[in-house]
Amino acid sequence: MAAPDLVIPVREGAASEELRYALRSVAAHLPHGRVWLVGHRPPWAVNVEHLPTRQTGTKYQNTTAAVRAACEHPGVSEQFVLSNDDFFLMHPQPDGMPVLHRGPVRNVEAYYAARASGLYLRGMRDTARLLVSLGHPDPMSYELHVPMTVDKAGMLAALDTGRHLAVVHKRTLYGNLAGLGGTQIRDVKVLHRAPHGYGPNSRFLSTMPDSFANGHVGQFIRDAFRRPSPYEKPAGRR
The string of DSSP letters for 61-122 reads: HHHHHHHHHHHH-TTS-SEEEE--TTEEE-S--TT-PPPEE-SBHHHHHHHHHTT--SHHHH
Residue 206 included in any domain: yes
pLDDT at 114: 86
CB atoms within 10 A of CB 166: 11
Confidence tier at 176 by pLDDT (50, 70, 90): very high
Residue 229 included in any domain: yes
Confidence tier at 115 by pLDDT (50, 70, 90): confident
**CB burial of residue 126 (10 Å; 0-12, 13-18, 19+):** middle
Instruction: Please state the rounded mean pLDDT for residues 70-85.
Output: 98
Q: Please say whether the dihedral angle defined by the alpha carbons of residues 59, 62, 64 and 70, taken in this order, is positive or negative.
A: negative
Residue 218 included in any domain: yes
- Is pLDDT above 60 for 236? no
Neighbouring-strand partners of residue 232: 45
Kindly report the pTM of this predicted structure.
0.95
CB atoms within 10 A of CB 90: 21
Q: How many domains does the chain have?
A: 1
Residue 103 included in any domain: no
Percent of the chain topping pLDDT 70 = 98
* Ramachandran class of 179: left when φ > 0, alpha when ψ lies in -120 to 50, beta otherwise: left
CA distance from start to end of the chain = 36
What is the C-alpha to C-alpha distance for residues 147 and 143, in angstroms, rounded to an integer?
Answer: 10
Pick the closest to residue 184 from 110, 100, 99, 111 (CA basis). 100
What is the C-alpha to C-alpha distance for residues 173 and 119, in angstroms, rounded to an integer?
Answer: 16
CA angle 193, 187, 199 (to 5 degrees): 50
Order of strands across the sheet that contains 79-82? 49-51, 35-39, 5-10, 79-82, 148-151
Instruction: Please state the rounded mean pLDDT for residues 10-15.
Output: 80
Asked if residue 44 lies in contact with residue 16, where contact means CB atoms within 8 angstroms, the answer is yes
Instruction: Please state the rounded mean pLDDT for residues 60-68.
Output: 96
Confidence tier at 13 by pLDDT (50, 70, 90): confident
Please give the biggest Cα pair distance in the chain.
56
Residue 110 included in any domain: no
Residue 83 included in any domain: yes
Q: What burial letters (b/e) apply to 93-107, b meaning 16+ CB within 10 Å?
A: beebbeebbbeebee
Could you tell me the residue range of the domain that residue 73 belongs to? 1-89+186-238
φ, ψ for residue 100, nearest 5 deg:
-125, 145
Residue 128 included in any domain: no
Residue 129 included in any domain: no
